[in-house]
Amino acid sequence: MATVWDVDEWVRSISSLPIVSFYPTAVAKATGLPLTDVFNRLLYLVNDGKLRLLWEIRCPNYDCVRTLEIVDDPKKIIGKSIYCTSCGEEIEEISSDNIFPAFQISPEYKARVIKKKRLTAER
């Protein structure tokens, strides 16, 4: 049975890959853990300095749903408007319905994992 330690292992395993960001749903699917448990553990890893929490503003058009902007504080953009250059949809007032969490591996943690992987391979 999976535990929150599997979240840590999943994060470590992707840290040396060229992944820009990932969603909590990907971790939940990979580990079989409930999304709430995964999200809470990812927040713990943010506080631990291994991850950065970002917020994506997505186009509300279901045929598009492109990421229009990425911010680190959603409070700065709530209530503002944004235009999707891909489909022409305009969000007149950004709300929590348009904002989704994404996580990034911190550069320091990524460098540490890559260094350890390299040292292990040299042995």
Structure tokens belonging to residue 38: 């995964």
Structure tokens belonging to residue 57: 């503003």
Are 16 and 114 a contacting pair, CB within 8 Å?
yes
Residues of the chain where predicted confidence (pLDDT) is lower than 70: 123
- pLDDT tens-digit profile of 79-112? 999 999 999 989 999 999 999 999 999 999 999 9
Structure tokens belonging to residue 19: 């992944």
- Across the chain, where does the E strand assignment appear? 51-58, 67-71, 82-83, 90-91, 99-105
Whether 95 is in a domain gets the answer yes
Q: What is the number of structural domains in the chain?
A: 1
Are 22 and 16 a contacting pair, CB within 8 Å?
no
pTM for the model: 0.89
Whether 85 is in a domain gets the answer yes
User: Domain range for residue 16?
Assistant: 4-117
- Residue 70's domain is classified under what CATH number? 1.10.10
Q: How many residues does the chain have?
A: 123
pLDDT computed for residue 119 by the predictor: 78
Whether 11 is in a domain gets the answer yes
